[in-house]
Amino acid sequence: MKKLIQFVLENRFLMVLIGVIIIGTGYYSYKNLPLDALPEITPPVVRVYTITEGLAPEEVEQLVTYPVEVAMAGLPNIAELRSISTFGLSIVNVFFDDGTDIYFARQLVNERLQEASRQIPEGYGTPEMGPIATVLGLVMFYYLEDESETYSLEELRTIQDWMIKPILRTIPGVTEVISVGGYEKQFQVIVQPDALLRYEISLNEIIEKIQTNNSNVGAQYIIKNAEEFTVRSIGLVNSMDDLGKIVIKSVDGTPVFLNDLAEIGIGGEIRRGLQTRNGEKEVVAGQIVKLFGTNSSVIIERVEEKLTEINDMLPDGVKMVPYYEQKTLVNASLSTVTNALIQGIMLVILVLILFLSDIRSSLVVAFSIPFSLLFSLVGMSYFGISANLMSLSGLAIAIGLLVDDSIVIVENISRILREKDPLKSKIQIIIDACVEIFQPVVFSTLIIILVFIPLLTIQGVEGRTFEPLAYTVILALISSLFYAIFIGPALSHFLLPNLPFEEKNKISFGQKFQDYLIKLYKPIVSYFVSFPRVSVIITLVFLFIGAIIFPRLGSEFTPEMNEGTTIVTVQMAPSISLEESKRLAMLVEKRLMNIPEIEEVVTVMGTGEVGGEYMPINMGDIYINYKPKTQWNIPLSKDGIEDKIREKLASVPGVVISLTQPIKMLTDELIEGVRGDLAIKLFGNDLEKLKAQGDNIARVLGNISGAADVQVEQTVGSPQLVIQIDRQAIARYGINVSDVQEVVRSAIGGVTAGQVFEGIQRFNILVRFPEKYRGSKEAIENILITSSMGAVLPLSELAHIREVVGPRQISRKNNQRFITIQCNVSNRDIGSFVEEARENLKNEIKLPAGYFTEWGGQYKLQQEANKKLIVIVPIILIIILSLLFLNFHSLKNSLLIILNIPLALVGGVVALWLTNQNLSVPSSIGFIALFGIALENGMVLLTYLNQLVKEGVSVEEASISGAKMRLRPVLMTALTTALGLLPLLFATGTGSEVQRPLATVVVGGLVTSTILTLLVIPALYKWFSDELK
Amino acid sequence: MNKTIISTAIITALLTFFFTRMYYVSVEIIHTENHEESNHESEQNFSQELLDEFGIVVETASGGILERTIELPGEIQIDPDRLAHITPRFDGVVQKVFKQIGDTVKKDDLLAVIESNESLTTYELRSSIDGIVLDMHFTKGETAQRPDHFFAVADLSEVWVNLSVYQKYLSQIKMGQTVNMIFSSDDQPEKGQISYISPTLDEQTRTAMARVILKNNELKFRPGQFITGQVIVDNTYCDLIVPKTALETVNDKPVIFTVDEHGIEPKIVTIGKKNHKSVEIVSGLTLGQTFVQKGGFVLKAEFAKESFGGGHNH
């Protein structure tokens, strides 16, 4: 150890150089670190989408989802396979184990996709992977403003799809642009059923004719004289006219054109989503998805740069207007943390100057802050941790801790420099000073690092949310230790004044202050040392107070972060049509616009292009942008406005409203399904039975005391019109099932018969019957079908047509259908509730063969976490104890130190209570940090006391004078830590909500633990000292 | 020493407990949302403004005529009684042709002059009816032979509309029923009566034929044209009819929302006859009661709110 320090000092130039290099690298890392609002909380997941036009959920599941799932099963590192089959769309989510490389995962999925597409029947779509992005990858939303009001929704969508999108997609980091709203332009061939009869033509023939009359070919080249001419034949349909001129049939030389059979027009494709704005009109919009692992704010900046360029290029009057940007949040939360960091650093430096009363040593110590921060950044970029609210919070928490090691070392160096005889060389003195204090410094830092380790074992979204915080704290502490050992001593040599210590005589303000403190402290500590029982009583009183207050604290998961944007989620009846949901959404928007503080509202109903978040058409998100706060009428808070919104929307019939925020919504969706304390997944095959048994389970659960909010997942509720083909009837007429179904598919649903090219833009050609002949049950019954023998029959002769209520969507997990029954538990211990529930279910419900339940939810997460913690926590504690033991070679001493912990906790609890905050994840992290911090003070003090006793001072005397001598470093480390956090206590910016409880706990805990360290440890020292034998 | 070890153990255990609690909080989600107790009363109050805002239209229940129709495909044909094929009585050389396809002819109008091969004398071919020349095979100088060469003259002042009646409708189609003839969506439908129903079914198409005779003085209807015949099979007065838009399905049962001073209430009704626009209400609604005629979906959703409000199920 001595050798190490000696080496450091002998190579001090090298050490400083290394320091400079690290600072440089740190700055470089800082410039290149990805910035995000929140840490990446999604597990590696690859989404496979398959669009299957017009199929109902059952068919989607059977024909598409199942083959995809089967193909994916058995891939390595798969954690879970979940799927949703809904009208016209199949989504299979392949979850991989945490830490799987996303590109590797995608490659695996891609290989199997080939196999899956072969298994999917022809014409039912091709499975495709979603964008390389995560849930929080939707960084910017915009809509197209048409001031001229001359463009139709189809035209605007064409502008979006063919002008804006290709440009945006070229921006590095943008992986996908998802269009929502408006209508995709298509050429519609509306075939008159009468005409089919008249000309004896089937729809299929028309589709074939369109396909065979729409192509360009190349025919190599010809040589004319010495020149080469490329030969091409042009036969592509370019316009409605071209389309109309396609000859379908020729009778006696009289051509029958498509025009004669059908009306050809331009219309919008069938859509499952739309956007509206301000209750005024529909808009066309886009969502920008960033590439996995890229820097959100940089991408948004790049998009904004392009924005003016794009707007110049767009037709007059059309503008691209962003209405939600994650950047605002990223910047706001980063600036909150950065401000806190800067203020914290200032405060810490102030304390240093005050206590060290020496600019030079303060400088040596203060340098450790930028060094450690930048070194941590190097670590972050090495380990791929992005700069986000959580990781930066970790740094903010660590500020005060960063200087602790250096304070202790530098303080010791300067103390010894003042006292020791000038015979020793400066280097020697520094080495001695460092060695003396080296062990407790290393050990106390190690202990703080150790207590953060269990945080890394928490699973799920919570774990991933707070993991970066634990990592950065650990990184920062390691950096500060590195500084204290390698750079600090070297810098001390350069910066601290030469012997003899001149400043001894000058009495600075800081010195006066300290003398005053010591004068104040000495009688108190003497009293306590004389009457140790008093300190025991005080300790017990403190503990008692803590024990009383602790149960009174409320609890919550994470305090809600104010993101600046409010989202009103609307939910309507599952059977609603898109047009009706649009009408209702616009009425809701109109009401919102009546609130004067609201600037703009934009609603997304349903789902736009595939690749974004999937929402059924009965659901929507209303984004609310507020006017600048200065324009708010009354001094309203955001909460106040949200109350106003709730009030306004309370009376909207048929719409369920809830308020959330963009990122909160996305993260909530991630943990959806396990939101309840208890989630029972019932697996089985028959949807009806699942529903019935699910209701049974819900009933049994509801009867158990403590059950609250029991809910069965709504799986049914979509009306269907089922055309069941009567096999006897078709047998009589000699018609095939496919003959009927072809007509059903193309006449009612419409069939794409190729594309029309307009330059590079391409639009589908849709062949379909007019609305009048397919728009109602009656009309569908009357659709005529021609048999091969020439009989013309209405569909109702060949099939039973009936209206039923079918499934909305079919959810599957690991190849099994399931529904979820959720339940919360109140006023009761969840473990016993689950036990009772299991017992009751077993007795009361007999599940059919093949049906089974899986118990999950928050309860399961807790159980799993507890299982791990029960092993990890004692191990960590034992390691801490052995570290303490190693340091002191005394179990008693170690115990005395550990006594600090409960006292620190009491302070944290009281602080939370006084500031009216709840127990939450951040505050519990604060408690965890306290464990380590509280120990540090005690260790520094006790080491010195032991040393004094060793030197022959009596225990009592040592207790008093030792405490007096150590007042300065103890107070300093405590104050720097507390003041480093102080800005977080008073910050009001975005993200401060999350950091405040943490800071509160640490500051509160420090206050009690420092007071008690200074009074209780000296008092009890004699009982815990080993030196009495 | 033993004491120390024991106390170490106790402290470790206590701290383990506390530590575990601490992390436990980290994974615990506490539900702060309070699920509002929704009132389960079957009546709900809606103000007039609210009804207006959400496009909910009310009406007073009344009786009316309920017309039930069946749509059948049909084709216009020439009345065979009004079609004349005028053939040369003797084979011979066509000397002169007076009328062309499309010409209107009167009875006894001269159509052509033919020189008989047998007698070598000329004779005249005259129209036997008033009508239009639809077809003719006479060219000057050609030898006209029976039966290949003829004048087809049709009187189109009346045409037949032959409707194909599918098996399942046979019992409902009766002689004398009124039929609305729809030619295209723009035209006003023409009315006619069923004058004949074929006693047998076509072996190919398995349909019966119902005939409507149409006056065609303006020559608007062209034989060969396809039409849709809307046969009015029932046209009775019902005590209570409501527009179809008033009906909502709740739990697989037809429901109408009634409005009174207490509010709006869903009533299960029994449906009688119906057509594409209106339905007869047999029970569940009384004459003079105010009911929601349009926009009932919103109300239905409002009443069913609890069942679908169960979470943002993405």
DSSP string, A74-109: T-TTEEEEEEEEETTEEEEEEEE-TT--HHHHHHHH
CA distance B154 to chain A (A): 22
pLDDT above 80 (res A288): yes
Which tops the pLDDT comparison, A399 or A675? Answer: A399
Of A407, A392, A526, A543, nearest in space to A975 by CA: A407
Nearest neighbour of B73 by CB, restricted to A584, A792, A895:
A792
Got the DSSP string for A316-339? TTEEEEEEEEHHHHHHHHHHHHHH
Residue A1020: alpha-carbon gap to chain centroid: 48
Cα separation, A483 vs A486, in Å, equals: 5
Per-residue pLDDT reduced to its tens digit, A905-930: 888 888 888 888 877 777 777 887 78
- CB atoms B308 and A573 under 8 Å: yes
Cα separation, A1010 vs A906, in Å, equals: 12
Q: Using a CB–CB cutoff of 8 Å, tell me whether A615 touches chain B.
A: yes
pLDDT above 80 (res A932): no
pLDDT above 80 (res A701): yes
pLDDT band at A1; cut points 50, 70, 90: low
- CB atoms B311 and A587 under 8 Å: no
Nearest neighbour of A778 by CB, restricted to B53, B168, B276:
B276
What's the pLDDT at A423?
67
Cα separation, A84 vs B314, in Å, equals: 9
Cα separation, A926 vs A904, in Å, equals: 11
Q: Which residues contact B14 (CB under 8 A, 6 or more apart)?
A: none
Interface of A with B in 427-446 (CB under 8 A): none
What's the pLDDT at B11?
65
> Position of tokens 């006084």?
A914
Cα separation, A503 vs A477, in Å, equals: 32
> Position of tokens 């369109």?
A210
Q: Using a CB–CB cutoff of 8 Å, tell me whether A794 touches chain B.
A: yes
What's the pLDDT at A1029?
40
Per-residue pLDDT reduced to its tens digit, A35-63: 777 777 777 888 899 988 788 888 899 89
Report the chain A residue with the minimal C-alpha distance to residue B71: A782
Q: Using a CB–CB cutoff of 8 Å, tell me whether A731 touches chain B.
A: no
Got the DSSP string for A630-647? GG-SS---HHHHHHHHHH
CA distance A892 to chain B (A): 7
Residue A541 carries which side chain, given as an amino acid letter?
V
pLDDT band at A558; cut points 50, 70, 90: low
pLDDT band at A460; cut points 50, 70, 90: low
Nearest neighbour of B185 by CB, restricted to A572, A772, A778:
A772
Cα separation, A710 vs A678, in Å, equals: 10
Of A991, A979, A933, nearest in space to A342 by CA: A979
Cα separation, A237 vs A505, in Å, equals: 98
Tell me if A701 sits within 8 A of A855, measured CB to CB.
no
Helix (H, G, I), strand (E, B) or coil at A180: strand
If you average pLDDT over residues A516-532, what whole number do you get? Answer: 82
Cα separation, A414 vs A430, in Å, equals: 9
Q: Which residues contact B34 (CB under 8 A, 6 or more apart)?
A: none
Cα separation, A334 vs A337, in Å, equals: 5
Tell me if A655 sits within 8 A of A584, measured CB to CB.
yes
- CB atoms A669 and B30 under 8 Å: no
- Best mutation target, A85, A656, A866, A872, to test chain B (most B CBs within 10 A): A656
Q: How many CB pairs under 8 A join A and B?
A: 195
In terms of average pLDDT, the best of A464-473, A612-621, B109-118 is B109-118
CA distance A669 to chain B (A): 7
- CB atoms B312 and A877 under 8 Å: no
Residues of chain B with pLDDT under 50: 25-41, 309-314
pLDDT band at A671; cut points 50, 70, 90: low
Per-residue pLDDT reduced to its tens digit, A631-670: 777 666 777 888 888 888 888 888 888 888 887 777 766 6
Nearest neighbour of B46 by CB, restricted to A587, A653, A877:
A653
CA distance B292 to chain A (A): 14
- Best mutation target, A83, A607, A668, A709, to test chain B (most B CBs within 10 A): A709
Name residue A95's beta-bridge partners: A45, A80
Nearest neighbour of A928 by CB, restricted to B22, B27, B314:
B22
CA distance A861 to chain B (A): 7
Contact list in A for residue B30 (CB cut-off 8 A) is 554-557
If you average pLDDT over residues A505-525, what whole number do you get? Answer: 74
pLDDT above 80 (res A552): no
Residue A242 carries which side chain, given as an amino acid letter?
D
Nearest neighbour of A921 by CB, restricted to B16, B25, B55:
B25
Cα separation, A138 vs B220, in Å, equals: 62
Report the chain B residue with the minimal C-alpha distance to residue A784: B73
Cα separation, B288 vs B295, in Å, equals: 20
Which tops the pLDDT comparison, A886 or A606? Answer: A606
What's the pLDDT at A559?
67
Q: Using a CB–CB cutoff of 8 Å, tell me whether A713 touches chain B.
A: yes
Of A411, A429, A418, A409, nearest in space to A506 by CA: A418
CA distance B128 to chain A (A): 31
What's the pLDDT at B38?
37
CA distance A711 to chain B (A): 7
Q: Which two tokens stand for residue A632?
A: 């708010």
Report the chain B residue with the minimal C-alpha distance to residue A803: B252
- CB atoms A898 and B11 under 8 Å: yes
Nearest neighbour of A782 by CB, restricted to B27, B71, B302:
B71
What's the pLDDT at B186?
65
Nearest neighbour of A615 by CB, restricted to B301, B308, B314:
B314
Contact list in A for residue B207 (CB cut-off 8 A) is 791-792
- Give chain A's mean pLDDT: 83
If you average pLDDT over residues A803-822, what whole number do you get? Answer: 85
Q: Using a CB–CB cutoff of 8 Å, tell me whether A194 touches chain B.
A: yes
Nearest neighbour of B4 by CB, restricted to A712, A784, A891:
A891
Per-residue pLDDT reduced to its tens digit, A839-853: 888 888 888 888 988
- CB atoms B27 and A793 under 8 Å: no
If you average pLDDT over residues A699-725, what whole number do you get? Answer: 82
Backbone angles phi, psi at A388, to 5 degrees: -145, 180
> Position of tokens 């025919």?
A219
Tell me if A432 sits within 8 A of A847, measured CB to CB.
no
**Cβ count within 10 A of residue A58:** 14
Per-residue pLDDT reduced to its tens digit, A147-205: 888 889 999 999 999 999 999 999 998 999 999 988 999 999 999 887 887 788 888 88
Q: Using a CB–CB cutoff of 8 Å, tell me whether A505 touches chain B.
A: no
pTM of the model: 0.79
Per-residue pLDDT reduced to its tens digit, A64-100: 999 999 898 888 888 888 888 888 889 998 988 877 8
pLDDT band at A285; cut points 50, 70, 90: very high
Report the chain B residue with the minimal C-alpha distance to residue A668: B312
Nearest neighbour of B302 by CB, restricted to A653, A924, A927:
A653
Q: Using a CB–CB cutoff of 8 Å, tell me whether A675 touches chain B.
A: yes
Per-residue pLDDT reduced to its tens digit, A350-372: 887 777 777 777 888 888 888 88
- CB atoms B54 and A462 under 8 Å: no
